[in-house]
């Protein structure tokens, strides 16, 4: 009896995991820098992400806007992703290691990582070098991090798949005005 209940539970869990995805996710980014992250899907495999973070190594905060392209890896819930964007920083004490003053950083950010979505949980590990074109304590900040996000809006891809099958079954509807 217990084996049947366990098997049923595992099957239900596996089905719910494979049927889940996200449109919007919000959470924490922990690593060399830590902060808040919001990720929004804008196209089928493309997302925009905003990261507000502070450094444990420097006296400054950064806001980063990234566009990323996702590539399914093994399953739909496990993705490799790459992308880039811009960052802008603000420093409390604008001096570098030598004691010289520096401007607030502004520059380009590149990101690459691995993402796993399980139900309402979205986990990522990434490498995110930030290249300062203006200011900053250094020209390049090498950042790595783990993001743990809660899925706010789920993506209903299963319903879209059903509609597509129905359309294929019915053929082309030349009378589009009847929809």
Give the model confidence (pLDDT) of 119-147 as tens digits. 899 999 999 999 999 988 889 999 999 99
Supply the CATH number for residue 80's domain: 2.40.160.20
pLDDT digits (tens, 9 = 90+) for 34-77: 999 999 999 888 999 999 999 877 788 999 999 999 998 887 78
The total of structural domains in the chain comes to 1
| 161-9-125-123 Cα dihedral, nearest 10 degrees | 70
Nearest residue to 46 via CA among 28, 70, 27, 62: 70
- pTM of the prediction? 0.72
Range of the domain at 115: 21-167
Has residue 135 been placed in a domain?
yes
What are the structure tokens assigned to 170, written together? 């019915």
């Amino acid at each position: 009896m217990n084996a049947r209940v366990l098997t049923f539970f595992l099957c239900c869990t596996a089905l719910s995991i494979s049927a889940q995805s996200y449109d919007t996710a919000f959470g924490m980014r922990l690593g060399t820098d830590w902060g808040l992250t919001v990720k929004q899907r804008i196209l089928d495999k493309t997302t925009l992400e905003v990261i507000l973070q502070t450094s444990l190594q420097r006296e400054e905060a950064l806001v980063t806007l990234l566009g990323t392209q996702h590539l399914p890896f093994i399953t739909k819930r496990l993705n490799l992703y790459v992308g880039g964007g811009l960052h802008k920083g603000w420093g409390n004490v604008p001096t570098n290691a030598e004691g010289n003053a520096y401007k607030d950083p502004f520059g380009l950010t590149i990101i690459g990582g691995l993402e796993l979505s399980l139900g309402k949980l979205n986990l990522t590990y990434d490498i995110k070098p930030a290249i300062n074109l203006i200011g900053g304590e250094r020209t390049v900040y090498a950042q790595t991090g783990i993001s743990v996000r809660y899925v706010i809006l789920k993506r209903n891809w299963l319903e879209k798949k059903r509609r597509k099958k129905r359309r294929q079954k019915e053929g082309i509807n030349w009378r589009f005005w009847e929809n």
